[in-house]
Structure 1
């Protein structure tokens, strides 16, 4: 299963733009509001906050069509409220993983270089904030998309699963060593997995849960199983407890108390009356993995299903869930829905709708506590360059940062 949503997408890439000026949009309430935008539309990009507070956004697709994947990257400056280009990646990538290394550099690995079969990448590269440039580093042993990347306690990065050709699902894993710039193989998953979740636990072990597998005689299957990676042993061990639901394309966040919140995704087990049908359906459910008991615990449901959504930990410990997949006529489009999970109550509350529908957007916590929500597939299946900001103090989404809220 490819996570790159390609069919029926079209957008203009704004070539040659060096700084995106403010634009005006009509929000869901019908009000005309000033907005910021990236230098180019991006869906399925990667974003991360740098040590100086800037946000690096790289790659993604501008059109979802052949030739639409981007090598360009840009920086958001929270103080100046501007997006400006930075050095381009060595190759075009969408769906790549992005990981902050201990020295402040950024590892970008895998993804796809184009829409279509066998466009997956084994290469990786490093972004240096000091020079604003990307440079190639060692390559993975196989090409991967739909994989996960998790920083271990010792500063190395664990890469798990994914697909090497868009159909075949991998059971392999490898570790990137920043000191040598080399990937080395480490253990095998007990089940091949793509679009799973991964989270570093307080013990230093890594939880791998859910996801799915393509290329089977029965078609695509999704998992309710989980396993644990032990860096000391270099191997994966199955977890006895099962998830509350099979989930592929879920989002996950480690909570402040060490538990792991897993939200949404799609399930292959759909109940119709008394029958279970094999049809992938987006989920409005969530669950928590408790490392102390080694069990999965259900939470209250979300107000809407969220598949391929983002989940972002806020400074107060709550988790913001934004966007996801919905069907509009014959095409896949983004959602305006957003939810807030409060760990103390185990409940979700619906927060203000996003001003722009979002699917495969990025969501990055800023130093001031707001969340930068950027790009993605909007309504009418168009890829957007528009960004907005979730304000925890106002409990809503603003098209400009909170300092400009009075102008709305």
Structure 2
């Protein structure tokens, strides 16, 4: 949908969105319905700021993360067919706040992250056929809390994050991993966005990075053909937001906004470089949540801190541009959400910042 067509249909869509929200079951009504969540087997340990990656065989590899004992080098694999976890090979070093990217070869690239005292530049590859981790080229810049995106050319873009254990070390730099050579090379740097960002691959092969410091409203576009970033239209000044590309090619972003106490839905239309506020949220100040694109084209909005209290999961409907509640959910951040081959979503781990409390539990969301 172009900006022009979006403007022409806004009144109609707004009316349909209102009707859709009104027609959706209320939270009280849904309390009497069958929950879309089912409990899955728990991991062997508490984890948050870990990674979870769907492997070619349909199992899910979980690596690293932190808990009350600090960062860990352990990993384990979930088998949806048997609802069981099994120990996998260990990482070369303990990592939390790292990234895991499945390459076209089926191997998984683990990069960066660190512990409470160290930030890593090292990277390693996991081979699911041999259940082994092997070293690969180190990052140009040690970083944690960054984002990694598999580009259409098979290379991996790593962007942002923090260069030390201090949050005063926000990075604007980006770099590329070439699976053919096993090496990282520097590429263009962000001009405004830094530190915590989201990075979303667009239909045309570019990458949209959205700033997330709660102060500066900024988004930038990376062009793999030129290795450069250019400014995009400004979104809200998000804090703790998440972003995902819809089947239409638009990017959905939800999260707490500066000076506002809601976490409504925004859509970015790349072809017009245009943002549109499309729906209010049923949860106030949702941050640290996850967005998962479902086979139906709808998006699961799961967990998040919600002012440190429990809340509900929501679904975003791209046809009506609306968010509606689909059952209760825990208040955690630092969890992972992985789309399974069955169409369910495996949500594991996380932390509740108020207590604090760490989780080893796992649950599966089945779209109603």
Q: How many pairs were matched up?
A: 330
- Are residues 377 and 246 of structure 1, via their aligned partners in 2, closer, same or farther at CA, if it must alter by over 3 Å? same
Retained in 2: the 8 A contact 1:210–1:222? no
Alignment TM-score, normalising by the size of structure 2: 0.85
**Equivalence for 2:270:** 291
1:232 corresponds, among 219, 222, 225, to 225
How far did residue 382 of structure 1 move? Answer: 1.4
**Equivalence for 1:307:** 287
- Are residues 291 and 310 of structure 1, via their aligned partners in 2, closer, same or farther at CA, if it must alter by over 3 Å? same
For residues 301-340 of structure 1, the aligned pairs below 5 Å read 301-304=280-283, 305-327=285-307, 333=308, 335-340=310-315
- Are residues 357 and 237 of structure 1, via their aligned partners in 2, closer, same or farther at CA, if it must alter by over 3 Å? closer
Retained in 2: the 8 A contact 1:195–1:250? no
Q: State the SS of the aligned residue for 1:75.
A: strand
Pairwise CA RMSD of aligned residues? 2.0
**Equivalence for 2:8:** none
For residues 232-271 of structure 1, the aligned pairs below 5 Å read 232-239=225-232, 241-243=233-235, 245-264=236-255, 266-267=256-257, 269-270=258-259
Alignment partners' CA distance in 2, 1:336 and 1:97: 28
- Which ranges of 4 or more aligned residues in structure 1 deviate by more than 6 Å? none
Alignment partners' CA distance in 2, 1:336 and 1:36: 22
Alignment partners' CA distance in 1, 2:310 and 2:41: 19
In structure 1, stretches of 5+ residues that fail to align are 1-27, 213-220, 272-281, 328-332, 396-408
In structure 2, stretches of 5+ residues that fail to align are 1-30
How far did residue 73 of structure 1 move? Answer: 0.5
- Are residues 80 and 343 of structure 1, via their aligned partners in 2, closer, same or farther at CA, if it must alter by over 3 Å? same
1:367 is the counterpart of 2:341: yes
More divergent stretch after superposition (318-327 vs 251-260): 318-327
1:45 corresponds, among 42, 50, 54, to 50
More helix by percentage: 2
Structure scoring higher RCO (CA < 8 A, sep ≥ 6) equals: 2
Alignment partners' CA distance in 2, 1:263 and 1:185: 30
- Are residues 283 and 196 of structure 1, via their aligned partners in 2, closer, same or farther at CA, if it must alter by over 3 Å? farther
Alignment partners' CA distance in 2, 1:131 and 1:293: 46
How far did residue 92 of structure 1 move? Answer: 0.7
Retained in 2: the 8 A contact 1:336–1:358? no
1:316-358 Cα deviation digits (max 9, x unpaired) = 111001111244xxxxx5744211101010000111112x442
1:246-303 Cα deviation digits (max 9, x unpaired) = 1133111110011111111x44x326xxxxxxxxxx6412211101211011120111
